[in-house]
Amino acid sequence: MHAADGWISDARLPDHGVRRILGVDARRQRWLDVEAALAMAQAEVGLVPQESADVIAAHARLEKLDVSALDAGQARTGHLMMPLVTELARACGEEHGGWVHWGATTQNIQQTGDVLGVREAHAVLVDLVLDVLDACAALAEDHATVVMPGRTHGQQAVPITFGFKVAAWADAMLRHLERLEGLRERMFVAMTGGATGTFAAMGQAGPHVQELVAARLGLGSMALPSRSIADPFGELVTVIALMSATGSTIAYEVSRLSAAEVGEVRENLPPDDVGSTTMPQKRNAKLCQDMVTIGAHLRSLTGLALEAVIHAGEVDGAASAMMDEAVEQSLILAADQLVRLAAVLSELEVFPDRMRRNLDLTGGAIMAEALMMALAETLGRQDAHELVHEAAMRSVDHQEDFATVVAQDPRVTERLSRTEIITLLDPAKHVGLSAELARATAQRARGAVAARRPMGH
């Protein structure tokens, strides 16, 4: 199923609303909002009669226009904006309709209106990131001391806590939040510079008109309203793609840790969930699989967006169309992924007993670093590394517990007592600052949420 059209229904997932925000009707209304703001701004500087501006603003409501005429006009002309301008002018009447779209070009209205939609969708993404951070903070705090195997290159490395693992996810999401918010000044600007961005049709009043339009719409004013400037939109798509990579990382990790051979966490599935028509035992991490698919689709849009930054002349219609597609799809897909990520993390099942069992799979070899560092104090680091490596390989080759192998090595026993060896091979003794880092990151995440959400949200 095409991601932009929706995924399999899941009653646990709230409607994030981005598809509605970017829908045809909502988009047309935002264009009308810009036309109204333009007329009122031009009336303020004397370019348009105030009475005409008032009439234009009063009629710039989609419900006051003939939508079937808009659809028919678009089909006939192959143009998005011309039917809207024509229908708004008709609705305003002959006396006032001639002032509609005065001195503006299609992209002025379309891009400024679409920026309003991007702003609304951007707010949804920020809110969903806060949901993810909330869920991460709770997991990191609740499992700050739950010891599990740390893994590097697919193999057990040294112990960590599950709270520390989640803290790494939260830390990345905090940076994505900063990146998203950093886009605002560059993205949320009005552009009314006319055919090539020089204000030729409005003259000296043009920049002031743009400032007034921007103020009415709650936007900034584009410093140089050239229609070929597209890098802020490319930046938006790239930032969203980067965020999606973290979402996919988390989804992959939850899926991997929920495999039967690992069993340390599990996506919470409804009681009646079915994983397979032929294998009744299957519990597939469905939302995680969704997130991986969504993320791959989303990141593929980065190339399209970067190509769309390249314009020939003062504007290139093909590039603009590519960017529209990349931005719309990115916003929808990002919301799709984030709403799933928040659901998975907020309901994630964690199994500390299974983590403990997995820590014991190597018979203590996961604590090889701790033993090596203790022996290094008398042997030196390199000799200690060689000794412990030899013991680890022997335990694998002969299928013996690592603890048994080292306890029989006189080079170890003459330096460490049995009690010291047992203590050194306790995974809970070698998690470093896992718990402290998990709690500190959770606190940062909670602080970020609290700073952006009113009390009681």
Could you give the residue numbers annotated as active site? Answer: 153, 276
Characterize 385-412 residue by residue with b for buried, 16 or more Cβ atoms within 10 angstroms of its Cβ, and e for exposed: bebbeebbebbeeeeeebbebbbeeebb
In 3D space, the residue among 178, 199, 231 whose CA is nearest the CA of residue 444 turns out to be 178
Q: Are residues 219 and 189 in contact, defined by beta-carbon separation less than 8 angstroms? A: yes
300 touches 387 (CB < 8 A): no
Q: How far apart are the first and last CA of the chain?
A: 34
CA atoms within 13 A on the CB side of 370: 22
- What's the CA gap between 327 and 308, in Å, rounded? 10
- Residue type for position 44: E
Tokens of 430: 């070698």
Q: Supply the DSSP string of 313-346, one letter for each residue.
A: TT--HHHHHHHHHHHHHHHHHHHHHHHHHHHHHH
Which residue's entry shows tokens 């290094």? 376
Q: 376 exposed, middle or buried (CB, 10 Å; 0-12, 13-18, 19+)? A: middle
The DSSP H or E segment spanning 9 is: none
Q: Is 410 helix (H, G, I), strand (E, B) or coil?
A: helix
**Alpha helix (H) ranges present in 143-205?**
162-182, 184-187
Q: Which amino acid type is present at position 384? A: A
Tokens of 395: 């335990």
Distance CA 209, CA 191 (A): 10
Residue partners of 173: CB distance under 8 A and separation at least 6: 129, 132, 133, 136, 243, 246, 445
CB 438 within 8 A of CB 163: yes
Q: Which two tokens stand for residue 338?
A: 């984030």
Question: Nearest CA to 211 among 368, 378, 38?
Answer: 38
H-type helices in 258-316, by residue range?
286-308
